[in-house]
Structure 1
Amino acid sequence: MARILDHAARHWWGEPARLWTERVPAAAGSAQAARALDAELFRPVRGLRVVLLDYADGAADLVLVAHRAWLDATSLRMVAEVLTERVPYERFHAGRAQVAAPDDELVKRWREADYSGAAVEWASGDVAAGERTGVVSVPVRDSAHLAARVAVAAALVLGRYEGRHCPVIGAVTGLPARPEEALGAFDAGTLLAVDLSGAATTGELVAGSARVLEGGGWCDARRYARLCAETGGRVLAGLLATATDEDVPCQTAPFPLTLVPRRDQDGSLLLDVRHRLGDVDGESARRFAVHVARAYERLAGDDDLAPADVDLLDEPERRHVTGLGRPDTPLGRRPERIEEIFAARAAERPEAVALTGEDRSLTYAELDALAGRRAAALRGRGVRAGDRVGLCLDRTPELVVTMLAVLKAGAVYVPMDPAYPAERLAYTAGDAALRVVVADRDFPAGDGLSVVSPERLADPDDGGVPRSGGADDAAYVIYTSGSTGRPKGVVVSHRNVVALLTATGDDLGLGPGDTWSNFHSSAFDFSVWEIWGALLTGGRLVMVPYWVSRSPEEFHELLTRERVTVLSQTPSAFAQLMEADRHRDERLAVRLTVFGGEPLDVRPLLGWFDRYPGCRLVNMYGITETTVHVTAQTVTRGDAIAGSRSVGRPLPGWHVYVLDERGRPVPVGAPGEIHVGGAGVATEYLGRPELTAERFVPDPFAGGRMYRSGDRGRLRADGRLEHLGRLDTQVKVRGFRIELDEIRNVLLDDPAVTSAAVVLRDGRPAAPGPAVGGAQADGEVQAVGDAQAVDHALARLDAYVTPADLDPAEVRRRAAKVLPDHMMPATVTALPALPLTANGKLDARALPEPASAPPAPAAPAEDFTRTLAAVWESVLDVPVGDDDNFFELGGNSLLAIRLAAAMRERDLPALPLRELYLHPTVRDLAQVLGHE
């Protein structure tokens, strides 16, 4: 055999080849023989390797292994027939279509055709696995067009796993027009783009794939590599149709998921899924194989299905998946009202300080008594149980006293931010049917509306307030952005708030020893967690004035001075606090930091771990409609290194599902819409029965109701949830939930505007594309609040309006009468027409860069003014004139903080952020800072 190999190799390729012989001290078929065979089959090879395994019982195995860029499977079998003298080697002479050993270019081309995409999000690859390949086998039955059905089944599964409407499946087989009796690399490849939109039935998809696979739609390695490149290299799954019963189809899977139909020893049909361990772990590959086999069976049984009709889960797996999002720990506490629990805390520690702010403190007893008197005063003004009372107050002790008073009166508080435009405040008052608003400044008048200051809510003849109502009564109504152009009120009960503190108190160690900060506006539901989290667990609440919350340095001083131990922050705000902390010698007393309001990028937290190793960081996902928080994930140093996007497991009493558009559970790791059930689900949208019925739906798995969040997510095998952004035109900017359609509708309310679009941009050069608002938006909208890609401080809203002769500044001024600051577009650009796709939808990618004001000429002697303008330009990344308005150029509260830091780094005068808000132009600010 060695002589034949040497002669044949010289004849075929002009160079010798060696037969390696290994004696195996074990009988054929033994475990040791199997290990020796596997070792030879999977030993790396560049060209051709031939090994004879000589067993102790006289039997032998001839093992031939070749790189696919050297010999295809047919050629390899021909070589085996020559070496075993079944065919004389002279038969393969130079006159036939014999192919010499390929050069390195072909090897390179095949490597280029390999998968080169990003990490497989629904699996856990092992970076140390190298090119090692695992295999999972599942039984399938014979059917017509076997390869085409396998390919379409794989596309269905891949489409569900990755949320793609047109996944690409690769295929490798022998070239249909292969020269007979030729030796060489004649493998060919093709790509199938399987349209799962529903335009074709599954039978039509199979027939179309069969026409390609069986009709010669193949190309050689060079063309195949170009096809793969055109897909961005993301060919994750593919079919390998070159295998026979005698072949091991591959050492390293050509695709991360390589499907190989084959016959078992008993003749039954199996589908092997060979998977690269570096990309896909064994359990994820097993799940993929089972789902492909299940989809294949459905395709083989019915050709008239729509792709969405194919359900990948059977009943046992459905029960398993719906159980993944349920916590192990039940919620134990009986339902109570908020003011009842507060009264119990006051009775336990009446002299403990409950509330600090504005250079004053109130003990629990004092706060309880003062709130009781104000409750009686509210009753005296006609407020009755169940009435809604508006609160338009700054972050001072008066806010909390009045909030508690409303609850003691059996009423419902409706918080409003004093910074909101008058028209928005008036709308909220009218929509909530408020008859009483407690405000510490002017509030827009309304029919039947009584506006009273906190100081006037005094009743020295307090006779007490009779108890009324139960835990299921509404405690507050918080208004969130609405797609119709007007905000909508979310009604949340006492029971929900108490459940939130019950679910988190023990795990987070909340108690009388803690000092909390109230950093957020009362109109933002994060404040519910801060205020009642402190007061219902016996802690002390420190009110953070608005201007202090805008200045990381001043906020740091407050945290240090008040020895705050529990801190709640949006990731955007915390990034600025970390920067301020880095420049301070004083160490904070914070033991617990809770993140919420927007996606968290955990990678920048490594420095915080170094400086505060004893501080626990908890990332929480939640929605106003599900009572602030739903899940919790303690962030570790390992999570920060890995860049984890997990928001953790549901809180006790809460549960989550990830469902497809038909309300079916999706497989583990696959994306879908997050649905939340359990103790936190809100009562309703105030006065919106149709919207309530649309979003608060029956829970078919656990009973009760669940909330359709509109958020995209995936459940991991361990029950942890990953938040993947929005499914609709809703986005988050610095913690505020915003419907882009609301802004668009406000713009369209302007009689001069004929059409409008709103996009959210990162604001950095070469940043991700825009998210789009409006019914004309084409395709799925990605929330730019993705923690992995966005600089939240630079995220901005850009508006486009028609016709072209509109005055953008005037459009913006009219919108500012309705929209709060965080919803105001940074720019308004007037166009002759909005660009449209061929389908008549808005083409967001064709929108021009937003218009910006041209720089004003600099006066000769204004050196400091020009220096200041240059700093503004470095922060805003736009040209800046002396009379340009910081906020009209795209500035926001976070960029204001960056501006202050940039001025400090350049040894310029300190910038009090209050002055920037009061004097938002370069010229005016320069004068305030003492320079002409």
Structure 2
Amino acid sequence: MYQADSVSRLFAAARSPSVHCHAWRVRLSEGADAARMARLLDEASRAWWGESARLWVESVPADGDSPAARRRLDAELHRPMSGKGPCLRAVLLEYADGPADLVLVAHRERCDSVSLRSVAQVLTGRASYDRFRPEEAGPDAGMIVRRGEAGRPGSVEWAAGDAAAGDRTGVVTVRTRAAAQATAKVAVALGLVVGRYEDQRDPLLGALAVLPDRPAGALGAFDAGMLLALDLSGQKTVGELVAESDRTLCGEGGQCDGPRQDLAEPGGRVLAGLVVNELDHFTGEGETYLPCQAAPFPLTIALRRAAGGLMLDVHHRLEVVDEHTARRFAHHVARVYEQLIDPADDLVPDDVDLLDEPERRWTVELGRSSRSLEQRPERIEEVLAARVAERPEAVALTCEDRSLTYAELDERAERMAGALRGMGVRAGERVGLCLERSLDLVVTMLAVLKAGAVYVPMDPAYPADRLAFMAQDAGLMVVVAGGSFPDGDQLSIVTPEELVAKGGDAGTAASDGQAGGSPGQDEAAYVIYTSGSTGRPKGVLVPHRNVVALLSATEDDFGLGPGDTWTNFHSSAFDFSVWEIWGALLTGARLVMVPYWVSRSPEEFHELLVREQVTVLNQTPSAFAQLMDADRRRGERLAVRLVVFGGEPLDARPLRDWFDRYPENRCRVVNMYGITETTVHVTAQTVTRREAMAGSRSVGGPLPGWHVYVLDERGRPVPCGVPGEIYVGGAGVALEYLGRPELTEQRFLPDPFGGGRMYRSGDRGRLRHDGRLEHLGRLDTQVKVRGFRVELDEIRRVLLEDASVTAAAVLPRAGDLEGARIDAYVVLADGDTAAVRRRAAKVLPEHMLPATITALPALPLTANGKLDVRALPEPAPAPPASVRAPSGDVMETLTAIWESVLGVPVGADDNFFELGGNSLLAMRLAAAIRERGLPAPPMRELYLHPTVSGLARVLGHE
């Protein structure tokens, strides 16, 4: 607990003087002698402060109890004063029916609450002014000390403030069932609620203590401003927190050396506080004390006694907190306060529940879609068979200059399915697919499903060690690969062409499959591997029914159908491709396969979109940023009617330029949140120009059949607007982690609110009162890099497996268009970081390779022995591979471009990718080369010649 030296210190950051002003009102039922009161005021002010004060008299043409009189009184009570003018303002309001109101307003730096009360007593004849004497102000009187954001936090993420509200303040009142006032318990209740809302373990509270305990006859600035820092970590019981708060607020040994030094830091803001108004005991008949004209904190609680219980008046600055949120906040403070009236001895902060049962039920329902899901008891290949029957001659797949109709796709897949059965593949077995984006990839996927098996997609760009691990972990007996694949015990590797050749008669293959019976929709359709904290990727088994449900949930809303053309832009090892491939084919659309090198070049991809007249486009925000840049430079407009974002958080603000070219009534933009373990997508938010202007973080409400919960560490729903962990239940929850029963048990949990199972995502989020979800990042060491889910612990473990590395740390760093960047720090026994990177590249895919690896003599640690992230130096650039300087104008231009894109010095023979480059940075590099007037090389040339000198030779300038 901490106590401030002066109230002016506590409220200094507030802009308006009304925050620092208070007022006293006395109702004079028989009226007043205005002339006599004016003389008394003048004489007293000269004696006290050596200056004259004037009494302002105003006739109000309304009765004293009328609404007009009330409005006039409120206006006068809330009219502020400057701390540098007169000590106070005195106004006498005379009403038409005889009564009058004496209103005294003062700035706290000139006159405190007891002084204000004393002036009122003198002017109303209840005391003589010579009974009082001025008190010398302390050294802090009138001092304004700015404390970072104390008193003015600007905005909070869980409330809808009105930037145009200025200093206007609203008030909501809630009655508690507790009859007695316990100020310290109200303070702890307030701190607990602020801590939950702000996701803080040590929230700071402010308190304005208006205390009548004063030296006899003294006049001065003595109201106390205090700061309370509550420790909600669980190290202290609630009873101990109440006792500490009581000592601080009531002065029983609660003095200390002063506020914490870090209060000047931006994080040390004071969002909420309370007014401890002991003058309530001393106000007489017809007297009212207004402690603050405006709320000194964005949320300020004033305590008030009333018949039947304690009233909590929550004053809220409308600029920061809207009325709806303030009312909910007040309700939670009152509920927590009631739990603290007679707490158990061992009650700790986390035991306290903010929600009562009605609000808990309402919150649970808020995370469910209002639309119902039509369950279709079909497998993926069965739904596709219906599309084949409807339009057999329609084009299903296109890749460069080749196409397949739905009938050809079905016939070719049947042949391959027969070949798989002939190789011994049985229902439920897993078949690996290591193929580039091509016609063969989709045909083989369908063939595996027709054989009743489960496909396991693997990216051909993955290192051999990773491919070998996945094959072994999945228990693969057959892998369909387009190129080389690591050998394994009893592993058959076959090409798509060989499968077609082995397929024989399609009719025979189909009948053979029926003989063994067809698995149901609850069986797995595919296994997608995600990054794993154990140091190796983990497989997620997703059943047919989930994919079919995903299309059922979105088909009507998105208007998906045969008239659409989709692209398969993403790797089959990335679950976004599940949506792209089956979203197109199960709705009868045409799917355009995007060759790898085209996907790496925004210009070539844009040409493909124009040429193929693509209408449904699915992108990660990182990739779309590059496409928007290409689109701005091209004259041809796209035919896209629907853009779906997924894979990583979306910053909607850059989309304003997109809406200029593609208005909302022409192209719908949808931001979708999802997880591999919950079948690609969970929620959907249509993004309009309004969301883009506001920088909205909303990912929308749940899809029909899906539901989301935001829970605390005890598994309890948290209030709307309060952050917690996102859990997902309903139609999209996957079956399990392959071969990881303990991990499955930890993450796939019984759903206590709706039956079935729910998935614990590890994502942080909050529900808004309209049912939309806001995604706030990860709770653990997992990050999203270009849409891929990456466990930093997996990268760290790979680095530690290197014999030359004795310690390692891996950190994400925010990027710009290329998204998050990964930096690593290592302690080396021998060797250099270049060798460490080369060895890591044999295990980690390109998107998981650290952009930088910095060698340190030792990792810095905190006093508790944890990694001291703040003490880590800036990442070191990779050492130059050559000291040979670039030569020639083109070489110098290319070097300058590389250095601007990579942000590190570049030598003529330095490898682009070893300097931290990646595929998205390669796109930026190509765009920068073109902007400098040089011919942009095809993307594959950069991969084949990843040095300045090599690229210059490709361009014919060396």
Q: Same fold (TM over 0.5)?
A: yes
- The answer (yes or no) to whether the contact 2:565–2:616 under 8 Å persists in 1 is yes
Q: 2:519 aligns with which of 466, 469, 476?
A: 469
Q: 2:541 aligns with which of 481, 491, 498?
A: 491
Cα distance in 1 for partners of 2:48, 2:259 equals 27
Cα distance in 1 for partners of 2:886, 2:205 equals 65
Instruction: Indicate the residue corresponding to 1:797 in structure 2.
Output: 822
Q: Are 2:896 and 1:870 equivalent residues in the alignment? A: yes
Change (3 A) 1:394 1:113: closer
- The answer (yes or no) to whether the contact 1:20–1:50 under 8 Å persists in 2 is yes
- The answer (yes or no) to whether the contact 1:70–1:102 under 8 Å persists in 2 is no
- The answer (yes or no) to whether the contact 2:455–2:525 under 8 Å persists in 1 is yes
Change (3 A) 1:647 1:172: same
- The answer (yes or no) to whether the contact 1:190–1:219 under 8 Å persists in 2 is no
Q: TM-score, normalized by length of structure 1? A: 0.93
Cα distance in 2 for partners of 1:633, 1:538 equals 24
Q: Are 2:896 and 1:896 equivalent residues in the alignment? A: no
The one-letter code sitting in structure 2 at the alignment partner of 1:647 is V
Report the secondary structure of 1:345's partner residue: helix
Q: 2:420 aligns with which of 366, 375, 378?
A: 378
Cα distance in 2 for partners of 1:727, 1:151 equals 29
**Cα shift readout 1:396-441 (whole Å, capped 9, x = no counterpart):** 1110111111111111110000000111111111111111111110
Compute the displacement of 1:203 (Å): 0.6
Report the secondary structure of 2:341's partner residue: helix
Cα distance in 1 for partners of 2:255, 2:91 equals 32
**Cα shift readout 1:784-815 (whole Å, capped 9, x = no counterpart):** xxxxxx42516321222223533212222221
Instruction: Indicate the residue corresponding to 1:210 in structure 2.
Output: 246
- The answer (yes or no) to whether the contact 1:73–1:242 under 8 Å persists in 2 is no
Compute the displacement of 1:110 (Å): 7.8
Q: Are 2:62 and 1:26 equivalent residues in the alignment? A: yes
Q: Are 2:274 and 1:239 equivalent residues in the alignment? A: yes
| Superposition map of 1:418-433 within 5 A | 418-433=460-475
Change (3 A) 1:691 1:205: same
Instruction: Indicate the residue corresponding to 1:770 in structure 2.
Output: none
Farther-moved stretch of structure 1 (799-808 vs 474-483): 799-808
Report the secondary structure of 2:583's partner residue: helix
- The answer (yes or no) to whether the contact 1:566–1:592 under 8 Å persists in 2 is yes
Q: 2:622 aligns with which of 568, 572, 579?
A: 572
Report the secondary structure of 2:572's partner residue: coil
- The answer (yes or no) to whether the contact 2:672–2:682 under 8 Å persists in 1 is yes
Cα distance in 1 for partners of 2:179, 2:230 equals 20
Instruction: Indicate the residue corresponding to 1:845 in structure 2.
Output: 870
- The answer (yes or no) to whether the contact 1:511–1:538 under 8 Å persists in 2 is yes
Compute the displacement of 1:8 (Å): 2.3
Instruction: Indicate the residue corresponding to 1:53 in structure 2.
Output: 93
Change (3 A) 1:135 1:145: closer
**Cα shift readout 1:125-150 (whole Å, capped 9, x = no counterpart):** 11111111111222236688822211
Farther-moved stretch of structure 1 (499-508 vs 33-42): 33-42
Cα distance in 2 for partners of 1:663, 1:892 equals 40
The one-letter code sitting in structure 1 at the alignment partner of 2:592 is V
Compute the displacement of 1:840 (Å): 1.1
The one-letter code sitting in structure 2 at the alignment partner of 1:407 is L
**Cα shift readout 1:455-494 (whole Å, capped 9, x = no counterpart):** 0112232313234111111110000000001100000011
Instruction: Indicate the residue corresponding to 1:766 in structure 2.
Output: none
Cα distance in 2 for partners of 1:100, 1:279 equals 33
- The answer (yes or no) to whether the contact 2:236–2:348 under 8 Å persists in 1 is yes
Cα distance in 1 for partners of 2:212, 2:783 equals 51
- The answer (yes or no) to whether the contact 1:794–1:895 under 8 Å persists in 2 is no
Farther-moved stretch of structure 1 (738-747 vs 48-57): 48-57
Report the secondary structure of 2:504's partner residue: coil
Cα distance in 2 for partners of 1:211, 1:808 equals 56
Instruction: Indicate the residue corresponding to 1:278 in structure 2.
Output: 319
Report the secondary structure of 2:509's partner residue: coil
Kindly, what percent of the aligned residue pairs are identical? 71
Report the secondary structure of 1:426's partner residue: helix
- The answer (yes or no) to whether the contact 1:115–1:233 under 8 Å persists in 2 is no
**Cα shift readout 1:200-254 (whole Å, capped 9, x = no counterpart):** 101111111222222278899x977987435645100112113633312211100
Change (3 A) 1:546 1:176: farther
Farther-moved stretch of structure 1 (489-498 vs 10-19): 10-19
Instruction: Indicate the residue corresponding to 2:712 in structure 1.
Output: 660
Q: Cα RMSD between the aligned structures?
A: 2.2
- The answer (yes or no) to whether the contact 2:204–2:268 under 8 Å persists in 1 is no
Instruction: Indicate the residue corresponding to 1:257 in structure 2.
Output: 299
Cα distance in 1 for partners of 2:886, 2:340 equals 78
The one-letter code sitting in structure 1 at the alignment partner of 2:863 is A
Compute the displacement of 1:542 (Å): 0.3
Cα distance in 1 for partners of 2:478, 2:667 equals 43
Q: Are 2:714 and 1:714 equivalent residues in the alignment? A: no
The one-letter code sitting in structure 1 at the alignment partner of 2:828 is P
Instruction: Indicate the residue corresponding to 1:749 in structure 2.
Output: 801
The one-letter code sitting in structure 1 at the alignment partner of 2:738 is L
Q: 2:586 aligns with which of 510, 531, 536?
A: 536
The one-letter code sitting in structure 1 at the alignment partner of 2:63 is A
The one-letter code sitting in structure 1 at the alignment partner of 2:52 is P
The one-letter code sitting in structure 1 at the alignment partner of 2:365 is G
Cα distance in 2 for partners of 1:707, 1:866 equals 53
Q: Are 2:407 and 1:365 equivalent residues in the alignment? A: yes
Compute the displacement of 1:667 (Å): 1.0
Compute the displacement of 1:257 (Å): 0.8
Instruction: Indicate the residue corresponding to 2:433 in structure 1.
Output: 391
Q: TM-score, normalized by length of structure 2? A: 0.91
Report the secondary structure of 1:489's partner residue: strand
Q: 2:380 aligns with which of 338, 352, 359?
A: 338
Farther-moved stretch of structure 1 (28-37 vs 717-726): 28-37
Instruction: Indicate the residue corresponding to 1:173 in structure 2.
Output: 209
Q: Are 2:860 and 1:820 equivalent residues in the alignment? A: no
The one-letter code sitting in structure 2 at the alignment partner of 1:70 is R
Report the secondary structure of 1:247's partner residue: strand
Number of matched pairs: 899
Q: Are 2:371 and 1:329 equivalent residues in the alignment? A: yes
Report the secondary structure of 1:301's partner residue: coil
**Cα shift readout 1:544-574 (whole Å, capped 9, x = no counterpart):** 0011000000000000000000000000000
Cα distance in 2 for partners of 1:114, 1:176 equals 26
Q: Are 2:612 and 1:586 equivalent residues in the alignment? A: no
Farther-moved stretch of structure 1 (224-233 vs 379-388): 224-233
Q: 1:806 aligns with which of 831, 853, 858?
A: 831
The one-letter code sitting in structure 2 at the alignment partner of 1:201 is T
Instruction: Indicate the residue corresponding to 2:724 in structure 1.
Output: 672
Instruction: Indicate the residue corresponding to 2:603 in structure 1.
Output: 553
The one-letter code sitting in structure 2 at the alignment partner of 1:682 is A
Change (3 A) 1:35 1:100: farther
- The answer (yes or no) to whether the contact 2:58–2:93 under 8 Å persists in 1 is yes
The one-letter code sitting in structure 1 at the alignment partner of 2:820 is A
**Cα shift readout 1:906-926 (whole Å, capped 9, x = no counterpart):** 112312211111111112221
Cα distance in 1 for partners of 2:744, 2:41 equals 78
- The answer (yes or no) to whether the contact 2:626–2:817 under 8 Å persists in 1 is no
Instruction: Indicate the residue corresponding to 1:777 in structure 2.
Output: none
Instruction: Indicate the residue corresponding to 1:88 in structure 2.
Output: 128
Cα distance in 1 for partners of 2:898, 2:489 equals 45
Farther-moved stretch of structure 1 (58-67 vs 326-335): 58-67
Q: Are 2:311 and 1:304 equivalent residues in the alignment? A: no
Instruction: Indicate the residue corresponding to 2:195 in structure 1.
Output: 159
The one-letter code sitting in structure 2 at the alignment partner of 1:205 is L
Q: 2:557 aligns with which of 507, 510, 522?
A: 507
Compute the displacement of 1:287 (Å): 1.3
Report the secondary structure of 2:805's partner residue: coil
